[in-house]
A and B are shown apart, each in its own frame.
Chain A
Amino acid sequence: MSTRSVEQTAAAEAGTRELSLGQAVNEALAEELRRDPTVFVLGEDVAEAGTPFKVMSGLVEEFGPERVIDSPISEAGITGIGLGAAMTGMRPVVDIMFGDFMTLVMDQLANQAAKVHYMSGGRLRAPLTVRTTLGATRRSAAQHSQSLHAWPAHVPGLKVALPATPYDAKGLLKSAIRDDNPVVVFEDKMMFARKGPVPEGEYTLPLGVADVKREGDDLTIVATSSMVYVALEAAELLAAEGVAVEVVDPRTLAPLDRDALVASAAKTGRAIVVDEGHESYGASAEIAAVIAHGAFWELEAPVTRLAAMDVPVPFSPVLEDLTVPTPERLVETAKTLLGKR
Chain B
Amino acid sequence: MTVETDTGTVEVGAELGLRMYEQMRRIRTFEQHVDDLYRSRRMPGLAHLYVGEEAVAVGVCEALRTDDYITSTHRGHGHCLAKGASVERMFCELLGKEAGYCRGKGGSMHIADHEHGNLGANAIVGGSAGIATGAAFSARARGTDQVAVCFFGEGALGQGVLYEVMNMAALWTLPVVYVCENNLYNEYTHVSETTAGEIAARPRAFGIPVVEVDGQDVRAVHRETAAAVGRARAGGGPTFVLAATYRFHGHHVGDVDRGYYRAKDEEELWKAERDPITLHARWLAERGLAGAGELEQIDAAIDEEVAQSVARALEAPFPAPSEVTEDVFA
Contacts and interface: CB of A to CB of B under 8 A. Distances in A.
A80 B129 CA distance: 7
B167 A85 contact: no
Interface string A82-117: 111111111010000000000000011001100011
Which bracket fits the contact residues of B?
35 or more
B290 interface: no
Interface string A122-164: 1111010000000000000000000000000000110100000
B39 interface: no
A85 B141 contact: yes
B130 A84 contact: yes
Contact of B132 (A78, A84, A156): A84
Contacts of A88: 69, 119, 134-135, 138-139, 142
B74 to A, nearest CB: 13
A89 B69 CA distance: 13
Contacts of A111: 124, 127
A317 interface: no
Contacts of B139: 88
A84 B135 CA distance: 5
A200 to B, nearest CB: 31
A208 B103 CA distance: 28
A181 B329 CA distance: 6
Given A38-B142, A84-B119, A121 B106 contact: yes
Contacts, number: 147
Interface stretch (B54-62, B157-165, B216-224, B309-317): B157-165
A71 B168 contact: yes
A85 B112 CA distance: 16
A118 B105 contact: yes
A192 B122 CA distance: 38
A84 B161 contact: no
Contact of A123 (B112, B129, B138, B171): B112
Q: Which of A66, A80, A123 has the most CB of B within 10 A?
A: A80
B327 interface: yes
A85 B138 contact: yes
A120 B168 contact: no
A74 B164 CA distance: 6
Interface in B284-326: 326
A155 to B, nearest CB: 10
Given A77-B165, A85-B134, A107-B127, 15 more contacts: A74-B164, A77-B164, A80-B129, A80-B165, A82-B134, A83-B130, A87-B134, A90-B138, A111-B127, A118-B327, A118-B328, A121-B100, A121-B327, A122-B326, A123-B101
Interface of B: 69, 71, 100-106, 110, 112, 114, 119-120, 122, 124, 127-139, 141-142, 148, 160-161, 164-165, 167-168, 171, 326-330
Kindly list the 4 A-B residue pairs having the minimum CB-CB distance in the complex, ordered from nearest.
Answer: A80-B130, A84-B134, A77-B164, A121-B103
12 contacts: A72-B168, A72-B171, A74-B165, A77-B130, A77-B165, A79-B130, A87-B119, A88-B134, A88-B135, A121-B104, A124-B119, A180-B330
